């Protein structure tokens, strides 16, 4: 009772101190005092109990929502989840998995990781974790991941069901640091030409890139295709370090500038190991941020050519501001500019995040994704490359040197629905699980598989049947026939991924990529 009365006295003190026009009207000395006072008044006087932590978080989010689309606040849990892919590792048991019919199916154990070391194999099913059943109970994927992950050195007991073995197997796995790779594929796409696909830019992307490049050079790589399609960005420094390998000493890579931040330049040094040979960069409408920085540097410095479709247009610099509880605010403090002076950021209206999020859909409806003629640039947005003085345009994103339209005949409505509902992936998981041993015995090498494997019609029939159960049907026979080649290609690529790795997946999927095909004509 005494404590409650003391709180009321303090509150009354604040009310009388700040009031100038009568009880309850506040004239605070600063806007910050006003905010603090509002929080205290709600906490002490509101009719119901309030969560003070949630109250403060909601206030921060409310302020940020009125700013640009990329400033954001994340809770401690969200911050950890967002940082993991960028940091390059996490602590866990080391498996690639997917959920097949409410059961965790291991696609591949991480090479030399904790699970592989104890004998866990691709195709195994994890049915229990530390004695708790996780199969057939519709447990959320996030909860399962939480159970499998843990601090390095801790142990977890897994119940495993393995095809061909009647009894459940038990493995005790000691958790360890598990690398998270941002480089998705690297292989020789044709004699003398290497292909490297970067999925995102994390803390170790540069090291991964250089390891892959060194390996490809040993296989005769003189020219290179850098695939940044669907690359949403990440660490600026990783993109800068990779660009540095291709540019001449002191070449400008990117610069940042903001209202309270002076111009800061990132330039190349003399250490670059890939200053000769042809470079082609692949992009599309989902290539953003750090991917646009690397692309813009290569294009503006006339070091290579860009193939694909206009990039996303994220050119805002966020500064992370950490709070004591592990939460974080990422606040936009500057813009990114390419060497020619183009601002990468596309236009936006403050506080209108919904329209910003719908930009890609608007591009599709406007026709930009499948017709270069629908893209018009204002002369005020004209810039020139550094060495050859070629015309490039600002206004948001990087426009490629060679535009490749989205093939709407290849990616039919029926196919898009199959992908969205996971029908193709689930059919592949079941098929690979049932035929893994047979496929491994029949195809000793990936080269043999790539040349000779043909997706059976029975598997296509299963895809169509599974789709019907979800009420997904083609409009007519013509749409079904148009969809089948892409369905077969994806299934073959997914099987290759499950039997080998992601490089083999992209080696197959790229055979029908119009953007990759166009890039190859430039060599």
Identify whether the C-beta of residue 159 lies closer than 8 Å to the C-beta of residue 170: yes
Q: What is the DSSP letter of 229?
A: T
The sign one gets for the Cα dihedral 450, 454, 456, 459 is positive
What are the Cα distances from residue 335, in Å, to 70, 261, 289, 315, 373?
12, 10, 11, 6, 29
Among candidate residues 287, 289, 483, 503, the one labeled active-site is 289
Which residue is it, tokens 């073959």? 492
Tokens representing residue 186 in the block = 């690297």
Which residues make Cβ contacts (< 8 Å) with residue 7, sequence separation at least 6? 44
Q: Hunting for tokens 């990779």 — which residue is that?
A: 242
**Structure tokens belonging to residue 230:** 């669907």
Q: Which one from 244, 300, 359, 498 is the annotated catalytic residue?
A: 300
Tokens of 313: 């247009």
* DSSP 8-state class, residue 444: S
> What's the residue count for the chain?
523
* 314: annotated active-site residue: yes
Instruction: Quote the CA–CA distance of 295 and 400 in Å, as a whole number.
Output: 9
Which member of 314, 346, 488, 492 is catalytic?
314
Return the percent helix, strand and coil in the chain, to nearest 5.
40, 20, 35
- In the residue annotation, 177 being an active-site residue is answered as no
Instruction: For residue 244, give both structure tokens.
Output: 């540095």
Return d(Cα 71, Cα 226) in angstroms, integer.
29
C-alpha–C-alpha distance, residues 352 and 329, integer Å: 19
Q: What is the per-residue burial (b if ≥16 Cβ within 10 Å, else e) of 241-250?
A: bbbbbbbeee
Who contacts 204 (Cβ-Cβ below 8 Å, separation ≥6)? Answer: 88, 179, 182
506: phi then psi, degrees, rounded to nearest 5 = -70, -30
Cα of first residue to Cα of last residue in the chain, in angstroms, is 82
Rounded to the nearest 10°, the torsion over CA 199, 203, 209, 210 is 180
Coil, strand or helix: which one is 13? helix
Helix (H, G, I), strand (E, B) or coil at 277: coil
Query: Which positions are catalytic?
Result: 289, 300, 314
């Amino acid at each position: 009772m005494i404590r409650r009365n003391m709180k009321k006295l303090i509150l009354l003190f604040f009310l009388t101190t700040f009031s100038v026009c009568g009880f309850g009207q506040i004239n605070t000395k600063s806007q910050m005092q006003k905010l603090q006072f509002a929080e205290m008044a709600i906490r002490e006087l509101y009719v119901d109990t309030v969560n003070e932590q949630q109250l403060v978080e909601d206030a921060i989010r409310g302020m940020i929502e009125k700013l640009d689309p990329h400033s954001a606040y994340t809770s401690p849990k969200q911050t950890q989840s967002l940082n993991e892919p960028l940091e390059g590792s996490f602590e866990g048991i080391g498996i690639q998995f997917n959920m097949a019919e409410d059961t965790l199916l291991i696609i591949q154990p991480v090479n030399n990781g904790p699970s592989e070391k104890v004998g866990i194999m691709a195709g195994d099913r994890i049915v229990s974790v530390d004695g708790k059943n996780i199969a057939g109970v519709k447990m959320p994927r996030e909860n399962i991941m939480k159970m499998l992950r843990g601090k390095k050195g801790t142990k977890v007991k897994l119940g495993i069901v393995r095809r061909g073995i009647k009894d459940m197997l038990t493995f005790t796995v000691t958790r360890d640091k598990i690398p998270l790779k941002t480089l998705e594929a690297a292989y020789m796409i044709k004699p003398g030409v290497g292909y490297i696909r970067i999925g995102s830019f994390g803390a170790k992307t540069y090291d991964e890139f250089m390891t892959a490049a060194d390996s490809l050079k040993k296989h005769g790589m003189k020219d290179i295709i850098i695939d940044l399609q669907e690359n949403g960005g990440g660490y600026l420094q990783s993109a800068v370090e990779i660009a540095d390998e291709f540019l001449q000493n002191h070449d400008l890579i990117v610069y940042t500038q903001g209202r309270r931040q002076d111009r800061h330049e990132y330039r190349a040094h003399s250490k670059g190991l890939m200053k000769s040979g042809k470079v082609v960069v692949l992009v599309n409408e989902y290539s953003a941020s750090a991917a646009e920085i690397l692309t813009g540097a290569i294009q503006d410095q006339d070091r290579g050519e860009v193939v694909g479709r206009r990039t996303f247009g994220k050119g805002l610099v966020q500064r992370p501001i950490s709070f004591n509880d592990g939460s974080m605010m990422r606040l936009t403090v500057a813009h990114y500019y390419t060497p020619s002076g183009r601002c990468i950021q596309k236009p936006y209206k403050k506080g209108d995040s919904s329209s910003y999020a719908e930009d890609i859909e608007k591009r599709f409806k406007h026709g930009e994704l499948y017709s270069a003629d629908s893209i018009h640039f204002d002369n005020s947005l004209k810039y020139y490359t550094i060495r050859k003085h070629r015309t490039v345009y600002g206004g948001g994103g990087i426009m490629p040197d060679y535009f490749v339209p989205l093939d709407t005949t290849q990616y039919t409505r029926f196919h898009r629905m199959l992908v969205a509902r996971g029908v193709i992936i689930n059919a592949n998981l079941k098929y690979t699980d049932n035929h893994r041993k047979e496929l491994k015995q029949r195809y000793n090498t990936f080269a043999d598989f790539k040349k000779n494997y043909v997706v059976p019609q029975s598997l296509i029939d299963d895809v169509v049947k599974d789709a019907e159960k979800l009420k997904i049907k083609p409009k007519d026979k013509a749409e079904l026939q148009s969809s089948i080649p892409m369905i077969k290609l994806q299934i073959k690529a997914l099987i290759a991924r499950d039997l080998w790795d992601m490089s083999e997946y992209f080696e197959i999927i790229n055979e029908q990529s119009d953007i990759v095909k166009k890039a190859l004509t430039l060599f």
